[in-house]
């Protein structure tokens, strides 16, 4: 079980979360708290992120970093590799079947891990069709921004053995983590809860405690 800790300045649904964060310092706090991986927003228009945020965070720690952005073109995958990311996000809802397959294959060829984000059964089928081995269930609706905290639990039994399961959005405390762990998830990706915690190191540690509760 793992905590993927997100470096996130703002969001379209909540506005500013931590606009003045220091990505290197925050990454180090996450690592000290026991985070297994970083998720760093590089989208500037919607999330206030940047390539500089990812590079500063990644260079400050030993743990790997996911580039969290709207990856829709082969150049985006190449850019992720060039900027030093270890993993790239592919959102199934934003890509056609052909695009999903091509971008997934390119990322693997470049030595990147790939987190394929899904929301429902049909998107799960599409992710499995491209041999995705790392699948994230986003509990936030991309259109309404509403969070369905039961979505990940419903989707977990549908994922075959061998798939690393990640629950995204709507994770607020150790109790949420415990429920998701019992449902069969291997990791949670957490942003807002941690950047607003006040003590990010302690925030990660509290979430990790849910795995053993």
Report whether 57 contacts 65 (CB < 8 A). Answer: yes
What is the rounded CA–CA span in Å between residue 170 and residue 168? 7
Spatial separation of the C-alpha atoms in residues 86 and 67, rounded to whole Å: 8
- Note if 31 is an active site residue: no
Confidence of residue 161 (pLDDT cuts 50, 70, 90): very high
Catalytic residue among 31, 39, 117, 206: 117
pTM, whole model, 2 decimals? 0.94
Angle, in degrees to the nearest 10, between helices 200-212 and 23-33: 30
Of 189, 194, 186, whose CA–CA distance to 169 is shortest?
189
Identify the active-site residue in 11, 31, 68, 201. Answer: 68
pLDDT digits (tens, 9 = 90+) for 104-116: 999 999 999 999 9
- Domain span holding position 27: 2-212
Confidence band for 188, pLDDT divided at 50, 70 and 90: very high
pLDDT reported for residue 163: 97
Q: What domain count does the chain have? A: 1
Q: What is the CATH number of the domain that holds 182?
A: 3.20.20.70
| pLDDT band for position 145 (cuts 50, 70, 90) | confident
Nearest Cα residue to 86 out of 27, 40, 142, 132:
40
Q: Which of 6, 31, 123, 192 is catalytic?
A: 6
**Alpha-carbon span 41 to 49, nearest angstrom:** 5
Active site residue 196: no
Tell me, yes or no, if 14 is annotated catalytic. no
Catalytic annotation present for 6: yes
Contacts of 199 (CB under 8 A, 6+ apart): 29
Cβ distance 17 to 11 under 8 Å? yes
The confidence score (pLDDT) of residue 202 equals: 96
Q: Is 168 an active-site residue?
A: yes
Q: Identify whether the C-beta of residue 187 lies closer than 8 Å to the C-beta of residue 159.
A: no
> Residues 31, 168, 201, 206: which is the catalytic one?
168
Verify whether residue 117 is a known catalytic residue.
Answer: yes
Query: Does 144 score more than 80 pLDDT?
Result: no
Closest CA to 19 of 30, 33, 8: 8
> pLDDT tens across 119-135, in order?
999 999 999 999 999 99
- Quick: pLDDT tens for 12-35: 888 888 989 999 999 999 999 999
pLDDT band at 210 (very low <50, low <70, confident <90, very high): confident
Per-residue pLDDT band for 11 (boundaries 50, 70, 90) equals confident
Q: Give residue 143's pLDDT.
A: 72
Residue 36 backbone dihedrals phi, psi, to 5 degrees: -90, -20
Predicted local distance difference test score (pLDDT) of residue 212 = 63
Would you call 99 a catalytic residue per the annotation? no
What percentage of the chain carries pLDDT values higher than 70? 99
Tell me what the pLDDT averaged over the chain comes to. 94
Mean pLDDT lowest for which of 51-55, 100-104, 114-118, 146-150?
146-150
């Amino acid at each position: 079980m793992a905590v993927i800790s997100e470096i996130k300045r703002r969001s379209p649904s909540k506005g500013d979360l931590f606009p003045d964060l220091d990505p290197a310092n925050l990454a180090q706090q996450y690592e000290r708290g026991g985070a297994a991986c970083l998720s760093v927003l590089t989208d500037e228009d919607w999330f206030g992120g940047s390539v500089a945020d990812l590079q500063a965070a990644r260079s400050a720690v030993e743990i790997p970093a996911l580039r969290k952005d709207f990856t829709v073109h082969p150049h985006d995958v190449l850019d992720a590799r060039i900027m030093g990311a270890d993993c790239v996000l592919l959102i199934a809802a934003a890509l056609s079947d052909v695009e999903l397959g091509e971008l997934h294959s390119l990322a693997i060829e470049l030595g990147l891990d790939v987190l394929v984000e899904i929301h429902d059964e049909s998107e799960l089928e599409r992710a499995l069709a491209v041999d995705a081995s790392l699948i994230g269930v986003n509990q936030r609706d991309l259109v309404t921004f509403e969070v369905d905290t039961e979505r990940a639990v419903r989707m977990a039994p549908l994922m075959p053995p061998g798939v690393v399961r990640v629950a995204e959005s709507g994770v607020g405390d150790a109790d949420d983590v415990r429920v998701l762990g019992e449902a069969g998830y291997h990791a949670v990706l957490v942003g807002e809860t941690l950047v607003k915690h006040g003590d990010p190191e302690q925030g990660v540690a509290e979430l990790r405690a849910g795995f053993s509760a």
